[in-house]
Each structure stands twice: as structure tokens, then as C-alpha cells.
Amino acid sequence: MADVFVDQILIVQMLSSVLPEDVYLYVKDHPMQEKVGRDRKFYQELKQIRNVHLIPRDFNSFRILENSIAVATATGTVGWEALFRDKPVLMFGFNFYQHAPNVFHIQNIEQCRTAVHKILQISKNQLHLIQVRLFLKAIEQSSIKGYIDSAYRTISKISEVENINNISNALIQTVKNLQTESDHIEEINLP
């Protein structure tokens, strides 16, 4: 879901290049991150980037959130958590909450520069949780109950059969809606 930003060093380099000298960039791996894709060279490269400070993987993420200006993530849940703590989010990738209030969807350096500038202008308590709650309500009204990642099966409150039925029915309905739209467009375009 991170697209080109699966290379997380690219995210850090981009942020570092647009941050003022007096703003630090704290980098923390996901608690479940294993050594796959993370060799010593990876961390040495991170440490070479201006304003970067590495934080141990087991350090409490909520404590970091409390003391941060904003959160940057490829697509992680830390961004979702930040929304409920009135913290702006820089999202480098694609996730369901990329259009939520105070989420800056970053695809290039100019968007990153603009987002950082706006975030640094936001004063404390200027973000409004009511907007996030309205976003949640819209998500609730336009989504189905289900999961596509088997890792969520253990925490889901629906059975595997119900999950399959919900996803299948949603896909079938989407195809039907697209067909109806296509038929309608063809009718409009007829001479």
C-alpha cells in the first residue's frame, strides 16, 4: 500500500529535506518489525540523515505521539492513532483513512513541503475531533464488515463464512453498479 514509499528511507530523506533545522525527525520501527529488510546498513543510512534520531522499537508509541508535532507513516496504524490524539498525519502511501481530516496524503516532494508548512502553522487545539468522528461515521455507512488479511481473523467478531459472504456480496454489488452505470452512459451517448 505504500507504493514507492515501501522504501522507508525515501520517506525520511524527503521529510528531512523540507523540515526546518530546529525540528527533529524521530524514527521508530513498528514493534513487530523483524530483521527482514533491516540490516545494519539500513540503520547507518538513517543515522546519516539530518535531524534524524532513532528510537528503540519497544519504546511506547503513545508517549511519542503525545510529544510530537505530527506523525509520518507509510500506511501504518500509528497514523490512525494520531488522528484521535489531534495530531496531523503525513501519509506516504494509500490507506482507508488517507482522506480523513488532517491527513496529508504525500506523493511527491512538493506535497511534502506544503504539508510540513501547513502543519507547522497549526496551533494546538486547532484540530477538531468532531471532523474525525464525522469521517468515522461516513466510513461506517459506506463499508462492510469483513477482513482481507488473515491476520485479522483472530480479532474479528464475524465468522470466516460471514466474512466471505460479506466480501463476495459487496464485490457482486459493485460489479452490478458498474454495469448499470456503463449501460446508462451508453444510453446517453446513443445518437
Structure confidence by residue, pLDDT tens digits, 116-147: 999 988 755 455 678 888 998 999 898 999 99
Q: Is the pLDDT of residue 151 over 90?
A: no
- Please, where are the H alpha helices in the chain? 8-18, 40-47, 61-66, 77-83, 109-121, 129-141, 160-189
**Residues 42-56: pLDDT tens digits?**
889 999 999 999 998
3-141 is classed CATH 3.40.50.2000: yes
Note the pLDDT of residue 29: 82
pTM of the predicted structure, to 2 decimals: 0.77
Task: From 48, 46, 82, select the one nearest 67 (Cα to Cα).
Answer: 82
Q: Is 183 exposed, middle or buried (0-12, 13-18, 19+ CB in 10 A)?
A: exposed
Instruction: Identify the DSSP state of 122.
Output: P
User: What is the average per-residue pLDDT within 67-85?
Assistant: 90
Note the pLDDT of residue 188: 64
Instruction: Identify the DSSP state of 89.
Output: E
Q: Which of 17-31, 107-121, 176-190 has the lowest mean pLDDT?
A: 176-190
Tell me which range, 33-42, 61-70, 71-80, 158-167, is most confidently predicted by mean pLDDT: 158-167
Q: How many CB atoms lie within 10 A of CB 36?
A: 6
